[in-house]
Structure 1
Amino acid sequence: MGSSRILNTYIQQLIETSTPEAPAWNIEKIRAGKPNTWNYIDGCMIKALIELNEITGKDAYLDFADRFIDYFVDDDGMIASYDPQEYNLDNINAGKTLYGLYNLTGKTKYRKAMDVIYGQLEGQPRTKEGNFWHKLIYPNQVWLDGLYMAQPFYVQYELSYRDGRACSDSFHQFQVVHDLMRNERNGLYYHAYDSSRKDFWCDPVTGLSSNFWLRAEGWFAMALIDTWELLPANMSAEKDTMRRMFSELIDAMLPYQDEKTGMWHQVINLGRIAPNYLETSGSAIFANAIMKGARLGVLDERYWDYGYKAYKGICDTCMNEEGGRLTLDNICLVAGLGNTEHREGTFDYYMREPKVRNDAKGVAPLVLAYIEVLRHERGKR
C-alpha cells in the first residue's frame, strides 16, 4: 500500500472516531480525562482537513471541519470555553480555520468569531521589544511556538479587514526573534526568550533558554513561510527579509537531517547523545515547510527533495499498524518552559517528556506535507 493510500485510510480512521467533544487526535485531553475545549491542537488538525478538502475536492473533509468548529461558535461569534483575557497565543491558532470556513460556508458566525479572537491580540501584553507575551501566565516571554500560533491569523485579519495596517507590527515581531533568539554560530533558534531575564530556565544575561527543540523550530519555520505567503507585494522589502530568514533557517537545519530517514532529532543538534530520538511532529513540520517553500519559490526547487525525504521517512518508519488500525508514533506530547520546576529546558527535560501516538501535533503537519506532495504531483502552485 503506497503512502497516499495509507494516509487517506489513516485520516478516515481518525475522523470516524472523533467528535468535537472527544477528538481522537487530542492525546493531551484524552490523558487528562477532561472535556474538550477550544485549543490549538484541534486547530492544527481542522486547518489541515480544510486544506485537504481544497486539494482533493472531497466534501467529507469540509463537512467534518465545519461541524467541528460550528460546535464551539455560537450565532454571536462567541466561542465556548475560550477566554480572550487568558491572553494565550495558543488559542489564536484555531482561529485560522475561521477564514476558510467563512469563505466556504458563508456563516456570519465565523466572521464574528474572527473579531472576538482579534480582540485578544489588541489587548495582548507585550515585551519591552514589542512582541506578544506567549501567555499571561508567562509574563515577558516569547516562545517560537507563539509566532506560528498567532502571526498568520494576525496578518490575515489585518489584510482582510483593516487594510493591512499592522502588518508591519507582525514583521517587527519576527525581526526581534531573529535578532535576539538566533544562534549565529549554527543558525538555529533557541526555544524561548524571557525579556525580564527573571525566570529560572533562562540565561540571566541573554534571557534565552538553553536548547534547540525541534518542534518549536518547526513552528517558527511554518510561521515564516505561512506569513510570507500572506504578505502583499507592496511589502516587498519585508518579504525579502523573511525569505532570507526562512532560507537561512532551512539551510541551518539540513546538516542535522538524518541520512537514512530524512527526519530530525528531538533536540536538533545533539543527535548522537542518547536517549535523543528522531521525533515525528517536528520532522513533519519541516517536511511541510520545506516543500511549501520550494513550491512558492522561496527556496530553490531542489530543496523539495529534502522535504519529501522527511515525509517519506516518517511514513516508512513511524506509520505502523496495530490491531487493524494505523498509528503514527514517536510524537513528543508537549514541551514548554517554566510553570513547574521540572520544565527547565535542559536536554534531559526534552528527553523526559512522553512520546505518544496519533497526536495532531504530528498528524496535522504530516497531512499538510501530504498536501504538498499532492500539489507537486498535480503541478499546482
Structure 2
Amino acid sequence: MKKLIILLFSVFFTLHTFAQKNYIRMADSDMKRNPEAWMLDFSKTLKWNYCHGLVMQSILQVYDKTDNAKYYDYVYDYADTMVNADGTIKTYKPLEYNIDRINTGKILFPILAKTKEERFKIALDLQREQMRTHPRTKDGSFWHKKVYPHQVWLDGLYMAGPFLAQYAKENNETALYDDVALQILDVRKYLYDPKTGLYFHGWDESRQQRWADPKTGLSPHFWSRSIGWYMMAIVDVLDFLPEDHKDRPAIIKILQELSGSIAKFRDTETGMWYQVTDLGGREGNYLESTGSIMFIYSWIKGAQKGYLDKGYLTKGEQAYEQFLKRFVKQEADRSLSITDCCSVAGLGGEKNYRDGSFEYYISEPVRDNDPKAIGPFIMTSVLLDQ
C-alpha cells in the first residue's frame, strides 16, 4: 500500500510538473539556480548589468501573468539591494558611459509604480542622465562604450532604446522619442547589408579598429545574437513610440524587411539559426540558442502587435516548438535548461583582441542557461501563454 501511494504521488507530481506553463517552469528553474537575483549571469559579486535586467524583466512578466508574489519579491529584493537610500546604484558608474548598464533600469519602472519609493525614481533619472551626455557619432548614434570610441554595435540598441522609450512615456519627455527612433534608423543607414538583408555586428565611424573595413567601417560578419538584439529593440520600442510618430512606419518597415531576411537563413532540419548567421554550412559553425530565441520572440510579438503579417505568428509558433526540441532539456531534478548558448561575443578590446572573424565567433565559450537565452525564452513563452 505504501509503495502504491508513493507511486501515485510520483505520477501526480510528474503530471503537475508537465502541466505547468513553460514560463513558470523556466522562471522557477532559473530562480533555483540563482537563489538571489544578483547571482544571475554566473555572478560571484553584486553587479548592475544588462543580463540581470533581461532575466528579471522576464520574471516580472511571469508575476504579471500569475500574480504570484514570489516572482515580484525576487526582483524587488535585487532592486532593494542595489539601489541605495539616496538613489545611487551599487557598482554603477555613469561616467564610464557603458550602454550595457542601462537595460537593467527597466525593472525599476514597475517597482516604482508599486512602491512609490523615491529612491527608485532617482535611480531611473540617474540612468537617463547618463544618456544625455553619452558620447555619440556625428549623426547622433550612441557609442557602445566610452572604451569603444566611435563604435556602434547592434547590441547597444536593445540596451538603451526600450528604456529610453519607456522613460519618455512615463515622464512625458516627448522629444526623447525622436532620439530613440534616430538610433534605429541610423543602424539601417550604416550597418545594413543589401546583399543579404542582414546587419553587421558593428560599425566604426573612425575606421581605426583592426576589425573595421577601411572603406565602410563595418565588421566582417553577421552574428545572430546581435541581429536578435536589434529586432527585440524594435518590437519593444514600438510598445512606447506614439502611434503618430513620424518615424514609426519606417521602423516597422525595417522590422518587416529583417524578419523576411532572417527566414532565409534557418537551418532546414531544425528550423534554428547558426552562430554566424549566413554561414550555416561552414565547418565549426553551430546552431545557437540565444540568437534563435530572440528571432522567435521578435516574430511572435511583431505579429501579435500587427507589425508583421499574421503568417509570422504561425512561423514563430512552429519555430518555438522546434526550439523546445533542439535546445530545451529537463534535468534530473525536473528543472529546465537551455543548451548551446554563446556566452559572449564582442569586438576589439585591449586584451585578447576580438577581430570579428568567423574563427573568433565560433571560438567563444558555449554554455547552458545563459541569461541571454533564459530571458527571451520566458518572455516568448509568456507571449504564447505556454
Same fold (TM over 0.5): yes
Residue matched to 2:357? 346
Correspondence list, 1:318-333, <5 A: 318-324=327-333, 325-333=335-343
Residue matched to 1:317? 326
1:177 has 2:187 as partner: yes
Contact 1:335 1:350 survives alignment (8 Å) = yes
Contact 2:102 2:163 survives alignment (8 Å) = yes
User: 1:19, CA displacement in angstroms?
Assistant: 4.1
Distance 1:144 1:11 in 2: 27
Question: For 1:205, what is the secondary structure of its paired residue?
Answer: coil
Distance 1:17 1:352 in 2: 26
Correspondence list, 1:99-114, <5 A: 99-114=109-124
Distance 1:7 1:243 in 2: 28
Aligned to 1:358, which of 369, 375, 379? 369
The amino acid across from 2:31 in the alignment is I
User: 1:172, CA displacement in angstroms?
Assistant: 1.5
The amino acid across from 1:207 in the alignment is G
1:294 has 2:303 as partner: yes
Contact 1:261 1:309 survives alignment (8 Å) = no
1:84 has 2:94 as partner: yes
1:304 has 2:313 as partner: yes
Q: CA, structure 1 residues 3+365, in 2 after alignment: closer, same or farther (shift >3 Å)?
A: farther
Deviates more, 1:154-163 or 1:224-233: 154-163
User: 1:60, CA displacement in angstroms?
Assistant: 1.8
Contact 2:38 2:52 survives alignment (8 Å) = no
Residue matched to 1:26? 41
Give the RMSD, CA atoms, in angstroms: 1.7
Contact 1:280 1:329 survives alignment (8 Å) = yes
User: 1:321, CA displacement in angstroms?
Assistant: 3.2
1:259 has 2:275 as partner: no
Q: Cα deviation per residue 1:62-96 (whole Å; 9 max; x = unaligned)?
A: 12111122210112211001000110000000011
Question: For 2:220, what is the secondary structure of its paired residue?
Answer: coil
Moved over 3 A (4+): 1-7, 19-22
Distance 1:91 1:62 in 2: 21
Percent identity (aligned) = 35
The amino acid across from 1:361 in the alignment is K
1:192 has 2:207 as partner: no
Distance 2:152 2:22 in 1: 38
Q: CA, structure 1 residues 226+83, in 2 after alignment: closer, same or farther (shift >3 Å)?
A: same
1:49 has 2:49 as partner: no
Q: Cα deviation per residue 1:99-124 (whole Å; 9 max; x = unaligned)?
A: 12212333222111100101110110
Q: Cα deviation per residue 1:124-147 (whole Å; 9 max; x = unaligned)?
A: 011112111100110000000000
Deviates more, 1:159-168 or 1:82-91: 159-168
Question: For 2:313, what is the secondary structure of its paired residue?
Answer: helix
Question: For 1:233, what is the secondary structure of its paired residue?
Answer: coil
Residue matched to 2:257? 248
Gaps of 5+ in 2: 1-16
User: 1:59, CA displacement in angstroms?
Assistant: 2.2
User: 1:242, CA displacement in angstroms?
Assistant: 0.5
Contact 1:4 1:370 survives alignment (8 Å) = no
Distance 1:320 1:3 in 2: 16
User: 1:3, CA displacement in angstroms?
Assistant: 8.5
Gaps of 5+ in 1: none
Contact 1:262 1:306 survives alignment (8 Å) = no
Distance 1:46 1:270 in 2: 33
Question: For 2:238, what is the secondary structure of its paired residue?
Answer: helix
Distance 1:302 1:56 in 2: 29
Q: CA, structure 1 residues 231+194, in 2 after alignment: closer, same or farther (shift >3 Å)?
A: same
Residue matched to 1:269? 278
Larger radius of gyration: 2
Aligned to 1:216, which of 206, 222, 226? 226
User: Normalized against structure 1, the TM-score is what?
Assistant: 0.92
Distance 2:379 2:278 in 1: 25
Q: CA, structure 1 residues 3+41, in 2 after alignment: closer, same or farther (shift >3 Å)?
A: farther
Q: Cα deviation per residue 1:153-192 (whole Å; 9 max; x = unaligned)?
A: 1122122224311211221121111011000111100000
1:285 has 2:294 as partner: yes
Distance 1:341 1:331 in 2: 21
User: 1:21, CA displacement in angstroms?
Assistant: 6.8
User: 1:309, CA displacement in angstroms?
Assistant: 2.3
Residue matched to 1:124? 134
Contact 1:21 1:36 survives alignment (8 Å) = no
Residue matched to 1:369? 380
Deviates more, 1:135-144 or 1:342-351: 342-351
Q: CA, structure 1 residues 87+151, in 2 after alignment: closer, same or farther (shift >3 Å)?
A: same
User: 1:326, CA displacement in angstroms?
Assistant: 3.2
Contact 2:235 2:302 survives alignment (8 Å) = yes
Residue matched to 1:11? 27
User: 1:270, CA displacement in angstroms?
Assistant: 0.5
Aligned residues: 368
User: 1:11, CA displacement in angstroms?
Assistant: 2.1
The amino acid across from 2:166 in the alignment is Q
